[in-house]
């Protein structure tokens, strides 16, 4: 049996968390960054609003902490939140030193406000392209390091665990050929899983691969019921759910129902700047109706905002809307919620360590408890910087040996055109079922409908068993199925409403039973019952 290729450190994902970790690791060994498409294609790239950071001293940091905890609806793990807000200023300062350009006025960083923030603390770049600028600057800085290599258009299909330790990763390269890469340690920083829902702001790459593969290798997952639905995605027939940044409401946008009424006063004293979960459910009730298929429309209205040039402030959004004859300064913009961000993920400590030796996680793929039940707007990019660096520091501190691993035994079979079409039908069925049955408003009956749809998905995937995971799309389908299963089981187990998880049949918080985090484990390839633990 041939031996696998080897590298010191392997990073899965080229968003903010993965690239920040790679930079930290590169002075101590060879780093391979694996990404399914080009380095620039990630959830990070599409982040519009900005990065939240308190750079004005201890009082500013304390207020950022308070806002983070309040948004998390009682479930924020305080040590994680402390870490985020206290280390955030240093990480953002580093990023600026490495070439990131944030918007300024008269030499000072511009700051804006978003939902559930008590004051303006959001840095932005090129108006509404903050994620793209952070991705660009980190990729350029990492790419200049001689010990960092990138494997683009490469899909991770498995984590190789031996005696409870992850020692290698299985890949399909850009030609579809299998490889196995041994590593001292592996970091999963592959982002979220928005593609498990039919309506999502996430790019096509966000299929939850890293989370699913970690679970199958034996790592614990946590808080998978908490999926954040962004309140304002563009709602036009046949048009992708393009994100309309929370910064629009930070600059004064109103939400109006089909009668032209501002309605947020009925739901929260902060009106349009209420926490995302509150705004998303309000729009669902006002604009999508109580029944599936209801078609009432909610609009985002900026026609009254006269003190800023909206085209200059939001150039990317303005250009996208112009393709469909819409203008922020002139028109009501139809909006609806869409799946946006997973608060749960691979359970880690504050240093990125998972329950498996040799496996680490950071960014949206990880669950430290920092966001609790609902992420505060624009904390995600900061999380990637802070915990990407921390995970890398743990990988270095742990100093694990490089263990030998065998190469893959055979080339997996590929799919015919007919099989590819059947596979897409299976995926589409799962995505629509998850939106219908495990979306913003849940209850036992609909969640069980979701489980039935998931069982149908698994049966549909079984027909491809002989191909293993021989194509990227098949690997993604298996990942989405695993993520859907975890969301459904966790949502059924939490019989209360908290943050982004709302149960029509249990509409209130139950702190006595559920002021805890859900934990999922797998044994011999099967999920064990959901447990709840206080961290």
Residue 515 has a pLDDT of: 97
Residue 521: exposure state from Cβ atoms within 10 A (0-12, 13-18, ≥19): middle
pLDDT higher than 90, residue 41: no
Residue 290 has a pLDDT of: 43
Per-residue pLDDT reduced to its tens digit, 57-73: 999 999 999 999 999 99
pLDDT higher than 70, residue 9: yes
Lowest mean pLDDT, pick from 40-54, 148-162, 191-205, 340-354: 40-54
Give the percent of the chain with pLDDT over 70.
95
Residue 469 has a pLDDT of: 64
Nearest to 493 by CA among 455, 458, 442: 442
What is the C-alpha to C-alpha distance for residues 98 and 145, in angstroms, rounded to an integer? 12
Residue 1 has a pLDDT of: 44
- One of 3.50.50.60, 1.20.58.100, 3.20.20.140, 1.10.260.40 is the CATH number of 417-510, namely 1.20.58.100
Q: What angle do CA 389, 88, 215 make, to 5 degrees?
A: 45
Residue 292 has a pLDDT of: 45
Tokens of 172: 């399909």
What is the C-alpha to C-alpha distance for residues 119 and 179, in angstroms, rounded to an integer? 50
Q: What average pLDDT does the segment 17-46 reach?
A: 90
Per-residue pLDDT reduced to its tens digit, 318-337: 999 999 999 999 999 999 99
Q: Do residues 375 and 341 touch, judged by C-beta distance below 8 A?
A: yes
Average pLDDT, the chain: 92
Residue 176: exposure state from Cβ atoms within 10 A (0-12, 13-18, ≥19): middle
Per-residue confidence band for 271, with pLDDT thresholds at 50, 70 and 90: very high
Per-residue confidence band for 213, with pLDDT thresholds at 50, 70 and 90: very high
Per-residue confidence band for 197, with pLDDT thresholds at 50, 70 and 90: very high
- Provide the residue ranges of all domains of the chain, joining segments of one domain with +: 231-338, 417-510
- pTM summary value: 0.93
Catalytic positions, please? Answer: 276
Q: What average pLDDT does the segment 69-98 reach?
A: 97
Per-residue confidence band for 291, with pLDDT thresholds at 50, 70 and 90: very low
What is the C-alpha to C-alpha distance for residues 109 and 113, in angstroms, rounded to an integer? 13
pLDDT higher than 90, residue 269: yes
Q: What average pLDDT does the segment 499-520 reach?
A: 97
Lowest mean pLDDT, pick from 1-5, 25-29, 516-520, 525-529: 1-5
Q: Indicate the SS3 state at residue 447.
A: helix
Residue 348 has a pLDDT of: 98
pLDDT higher than 60, residue 294: no
Residue 466 has a pLDDT of: 67
Lowest mean pLDDT, pick from 197-211, 217-231, 385-399, 455-469: 455-469
pLDDT higher than 70, residue 357: yes
231-338 placed in CATH 3.90.700.10: yes
Residue 49 has a pLDDT of: 73
Per-residue pLDDT reduced to its tens digit, 468-483: 667 899 999 999 999 9
Per-residue pLDDT reduced to its tens digit, 135-147: 999 999 999 999 9
Give Cα separations from 388 to 20, 394, 395 (angstroms). Answer: 6, 10, 11
């Amino acid at each position: 049996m041939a031996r696998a290729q080897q590298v010191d450190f392997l990073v899965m994902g080229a968003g903010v968390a993965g690239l920040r970790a790679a930079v930290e690791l590169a002075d101590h060994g060879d780093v391979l960054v694996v990404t399914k498409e080009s380095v620039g294609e990630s959830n990070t790239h599409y982040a519009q609003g900005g990065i939240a950071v308190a750079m004005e001293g201890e009082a500013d940091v304390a207020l950022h902490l308070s806002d983070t905890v309040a948004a998390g609806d009682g479930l924020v793990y305080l040590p994680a939140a402390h870490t985020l807000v206290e280390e955030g200023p240093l990480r953002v300062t580093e990023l600026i030193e490495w070439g990131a350009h944030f918007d300024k006025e008269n030499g000072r960083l511009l700051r804006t406000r978003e939902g559930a923030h008590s004051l303006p603390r959001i840095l932005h770049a090129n108006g509404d392209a903050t994620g793209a600028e952070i991705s660009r600057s980190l990729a350029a800085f990492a790419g200049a390091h001689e010990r960092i290599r990138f494997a683009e258009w490469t899909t991770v299909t498995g984590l190789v665990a031996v005696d409870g330790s992850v020692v290698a990763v299985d890949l399909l390269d850009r030609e579809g050929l299998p490889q196995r890469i041994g590593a001292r340690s592996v970091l999963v920083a592959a982002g979220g899983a928005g593609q498990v829902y039919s309506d999502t702001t996430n790019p096509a790459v966000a299929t939850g691969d890293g989370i699913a593969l970690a679970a199958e290798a034996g790592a614990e997952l946590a808080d998978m019921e908490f999926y954040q639905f962004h309140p304002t995605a563009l709602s036009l027939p046949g048009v992708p759910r393009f994100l309309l940044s929370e910064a629009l409401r930070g600059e004064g946008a109103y939400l109006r129902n089909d009668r032209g009424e501002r309605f947020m006063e009925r739901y929260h004293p902060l009106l349009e700047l209420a926490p995302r979960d509150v705004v998303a459910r309000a729009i669902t009730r006002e604009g999508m109706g109580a029944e599936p298929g209801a078609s009432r429309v909610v609009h985002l209205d900026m026609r009254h905002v006269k003190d800023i040039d909206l085209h200059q402030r939001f150039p990317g959004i303005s250009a996208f809307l112009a393709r469909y004859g819409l203008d922020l300064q002139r028109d009501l913009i139809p909006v609806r919620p869409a799946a946006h961000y997973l608060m749960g993920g691979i359970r880690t400590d504050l240093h990125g360590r998972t329950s498996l030796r040799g496996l680490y996680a950071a960014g949206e793929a990880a669950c430290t408890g920092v966001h609790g039940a609902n992420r505060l707007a624009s904390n995600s990019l900061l999380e990637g910087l802070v915990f990407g660096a921390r995970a890398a520091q743990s990988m270095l501190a742990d100093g694990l040996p490089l263990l030998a691993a065998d190469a893959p035994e055979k080339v997996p079979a590929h799919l015919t055109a007919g099989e590819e079409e059947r596979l897409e039908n299976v995926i589409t069925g799962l995505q629509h079922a998850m939106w219908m049955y495990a979306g913003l408003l849940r209850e036992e009956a609909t969640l069980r409908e979701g489980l039935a749809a998931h069982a149908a998905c698994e049966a549909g995937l079984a027909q491809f068993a002989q191909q293993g995971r021989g194509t990227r799309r098949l690997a993604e389908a298996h990942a989405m199925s695993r993520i859907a299963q975890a969301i459904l089981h966790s949502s059924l187990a939490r019989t209360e409403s908290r943050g982004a998880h709302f149960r029509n049949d249990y509409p209130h918080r139950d702190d006595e039973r559920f002021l805890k985090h859900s934990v999922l484990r797998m044994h011999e390839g099967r999920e064990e019952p959901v447990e709840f633990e206080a961290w």
